[in-house]
């Protein structure tokens, strides 16, 4: 067994490969979990693994920043930068 995320991710990087992960996810009923095949790493030896930090992104076109009571509207990127700044080691 592993004792940390770092150990877990090292095991996963050395033992797992995308097709195996895809088959397991399919069997668990998660059939739309992979990125589009057209998305590729910058270099072929790159691997991304970690805990996902999901965010909800939405474009807003109707609300005016001067007349709103929503404090997030006064930030040009909402709280996206705070979310990115809160990422820790092994978060993706």
- Residue pLDDT, tens place only, 45-88: 888 888 888 877 777 666 666 777 777 777 777 788 888 899 98
Q: Is the dihedral of CA 63, 67, 69, 70 positive or negative?
A: positive
Answer for the pair 83, 55: CB distance below 8 angstroms, yes or no.
yes
Strand spans (E) along 1-92: none
Q: What confidence tens digit (pLDDT) does each residue in 7-20 have? A: 999 999 889 888 89
b/e map 55-74, b = 16+ CB within 10 Å: eeeeeeeeeeeeeeeeeeee
Backbone phi, psi, residue 19, to 5°: -65, -40
**91 forms bridges with which residues in the sheet?**
51
């Amino acid at each position: 067994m592993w004792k940390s995320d770092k150990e877990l991710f090292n095991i996963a990087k050395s033992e797992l490969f995308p097709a195996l992960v895809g088959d397991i996810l399919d069997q668990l009923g998660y059939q739309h979990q992979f990125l589009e095949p057209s998305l590729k790493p910058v270099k072929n030896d790159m691997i991304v693994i970690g805990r996902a930090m999901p965010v909800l992104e939405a474009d807003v076109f109707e609300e005016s920043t001067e007349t709103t009571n929503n404090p997030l509207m006064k930030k040009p990127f909402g709280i996206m930068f705070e979310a990115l700044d809160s990422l820790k080691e092994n978060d993706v």
